Amino acid sequence: MSQTLDDTDKAILNLLQDDATLPLKTVAEYVHVSIATAQRRIQALIDSGVITKQVAIVNPNKVGYGLTAIVMIEMERSNTSMQHRFERLMNAQPQVMSCYEVSGDFDFLLMVNAKNMIDYHQFTRSLLTHENNVRNFKSQFVMNFTKSGTKIMLD
Q: What is the pLDDT of residue 50?
A: 97
57-101 confidence digits (pLDDT tens): 899 999 999 999 999 999 999 889 999 999 999 999 999 999 999
Would you state the pLDDT for residue 119? 97
* Confidence at residue 22, expressed as pLDDT on a 0 to 100 scale: 96
pLDDT of 122: 97
Q: Is the pLDDT of residue 133 over 70?
A: yes
Q: What are phi and psi of 79, to 5 degrees?
A: -125, 160
Angle of the 7-18 helix axis to the 35-47 helix axis, nearest 10: 80
Closest alpha carbon to 130 in 63, 61, 92, 82: 82
Residue-level pLDDT at 2: 64
- Alpha-carbon torsion (138, 77, 133, 83), positive or negative: positive
Q: Has residue 3 got a pLDDT over 80?
A: no
Ramachandran angles phi, psi of 154, nearest 5°: -110, 130
Residue 147 has pLDDT above 90, yes or no: no
Give DSSP secondary structure letters for 31-61: HTS-HHHHHHHHHHHHHTTSS--------GG
Query: Residue 1: pLDDT above 70?
Result: no
pLDDT, one tens digit per residue, over 101-115 is: 999 999 999 999 999
What is the model's pTM? 0.84
Burial of 48 (C-beta count, 10 Å sphere; 0-12/13-18/19+): exposed
Report the length, in residues, of the chain.
155
